[in-house]
């Protein structure tokens, strides 16, 4: 009888067990979230030339400190384990506090960030807006004329950016018969894809009777449409845009990647994979008002609008995510917490977070392989965990 392979010892299952039909399920997601390119087509986003990474730096005694969560206290280590964390990177005042990695994730490995991809894509939109190449006030159809017969036919790019498109679509992650399952087939994320492209799928979506702009509706297709808007506005593929406008100017050390469909269209709503350190670098750039390495990456006015001044409180209150941030708002694919600290964040399913507390000067990147795509009670605990960490570092 043969013994276990090194892969099986590390992950608890054989590589052959991970299939397109189950890659987002526990326990297979502990591996697949770091290896998206072995399951779906991906495109490269090159790192900054000559950039190098400092060695891993553990959290030291911080790992044993206690934070207040759900009326009790829990050590940092215990909460990281309970929330299925794969990696954590913390920065304060622009300096690295430390990293933490689960046994199944190596330092500097890429990890899919799911809907934090939306936040990254919106930064590219902000850069193009600053260059005069993209106008959020413009009708979607001015960039994508063939959208005229869809839900986006009378929407603006601003509606797309702020998730206020009156879109007849539900984020039914676990329903194999839903329009969401068809959406995932179009992205090549589920078996049976390849007959309908992502672009074709998006242009079949229809609208609700309510006017655009009234209600925050979290609908991922909006963010894939944003990627198409940016490509049409610039005349460049999204991968080239992100490389040239954000990734290399940021000084990103690791190569990023993004899932693509049958036509090579980037899954800008949720398909980007990056390293924890580079994700933290994005948060630090936002904390610095759009600056990184002594150069301006994105206009300061766009960062301020995104993180503090923009967004509709009324639209947020009409949405379904009020329990997470009761005084929150959503602007340019970023969440404003509405808390006195001014904290804001990008969030992805299965526990992906980029959290910035400008008052404490703290940035936290958390990558996870939570069993469920959405766990609302755990999300509330994660916010409490971040708030506790900012007081400890």
Catalytic residues: 115
Q: Which residues pair with 123 in a beta bridge?
A: none
Nearest to 128 by CA among 108, 100, 152, 157: 157
């Amino acid at each position: 009888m043969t013994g276990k392979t090194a892969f099986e010892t590390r992950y608890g299952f054989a590589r052959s067990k991970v299939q397109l039909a189950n890659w987002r399920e526990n326990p297979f997601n502990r591996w697949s979230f770091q290896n998206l390119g072995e399951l779906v087509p991906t495109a490269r986003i090159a790192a900054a030339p000559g950039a190098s990474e400092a060695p891993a730096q553990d959290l030291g005694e911080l790992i044993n400190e206690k934070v207040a969560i759900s009326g009790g206290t829990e050590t940092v280590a215990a909460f990281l384990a309970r929330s299925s964390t794969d990696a954590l990177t913390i920065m304060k005042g622009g300096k690295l506090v430390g990293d933490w990695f689960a046994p199944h994730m190596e330092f500097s490995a890429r990890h899919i960030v799911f809907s934090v991809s939306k936040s990254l894509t919106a930064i590219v939109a902000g850069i193009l807006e600053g260059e005069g190449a993209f106008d959020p006030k413009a009708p979607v159809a001015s960039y994508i004329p063939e959208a005229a017969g869809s839900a986006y036919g009378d929407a603006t790019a601003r509606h797309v950016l702020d998730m206020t498109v009156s879109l007849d679509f539900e984020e039914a992650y676990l329903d194999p018969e839903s329009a969401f399952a068809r959406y995932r087939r179009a992205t090549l994320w589920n078996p049976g894809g390849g007959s309908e492209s992502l672009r074709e799928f998006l242009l079949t979506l229809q609208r609700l009777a309510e006017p655009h702009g009234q209600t925050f509706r979290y609908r991922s297709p909006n963010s894939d449409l944003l990627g198409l808007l940016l490509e049409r506005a610039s005349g460049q593929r999204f991968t080239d845009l992100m490389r040239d406008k954000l990734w290399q100017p940021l000084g990103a050390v690791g190569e990023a990647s993004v899932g693509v469909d049958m036509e090579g269209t980037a899954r800008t709503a949720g398909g980007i994979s990056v390293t924890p350190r580079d994700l933290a670098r994005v948060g630090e750039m936002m904390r610095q008002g759009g600056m990184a390495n002594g150069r301006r990456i994105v206009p300061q006015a766009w960062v301020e609008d995104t993180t503090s001044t923009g967004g509709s409180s009324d639209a947020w209150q009409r949405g379904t995510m009020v329990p997470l941030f009761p005084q929150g708002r959503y602007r340019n694919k970023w969440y404003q917490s509405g808390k006195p600290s001014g904290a804001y964040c990008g969030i992805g399913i299965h526990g992906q977070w980029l959290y910035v507390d400008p008052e404490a000067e703290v940035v936290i990147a958390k990558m996870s392989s939570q069993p469920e795509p959405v766990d609302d009670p755990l999300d509330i605990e994660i916010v409490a965990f971040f708030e506790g960490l900012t007081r400890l570092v």
